[in-house]
Amino acid sequence: MKELIIIVIMSYPQHQYPDFVKITQQDGRPLVFNNYEDCSDYIDRNFEKLEKFAKLAEPEANDAYMMTCVEKRYHK
């Protein structure tokens, strides 16, 4: 079964291209979704909280201008 996580695309004044913040936990527990609809609904309900977290994680960023769900990849 695939698992989805949230990424927040950030823009930076010093970079030509955006970068992202990966969100994989909430309150110390894994934050993963089994389908795109659940993940997208979570983003819609928690957009401001996710944006605030991303800005805390990347204080040099100008803005969080996009959030989306992507398949979680495991690397060995």
Taking the C-alpha atoms of residue 40 and residue 14, their distance in angstroms, rounded to an integer, is 30
Residues 6+ apart with CB under 8 A from 21: 7, 8, 10, 53, 54, 57, 58, 64
Render pLDDT for 17-56 as a digit per residue (tens, 0 to 9): 668 899 988 889 999 999 999 999 999 999 999 999 999 8
DSSP letter at 62 equals S
Taking the C-alpha atoms of residue 56 and residue 39, their distance in angstroms, rounded to an integer, is 21
Q: What average pLDDT does the segment 9-19 reach?
A: 75
Q: What average pLDDT does the segment 52-71 reach?
A: 88
The whole-number pLDDT of residue 17 equals 62
pTM comes to: 0.82
Q: Strand locations in the chain, DSSP E?
A: 4-11, 19-23, 25-26, 29-30, 63-71
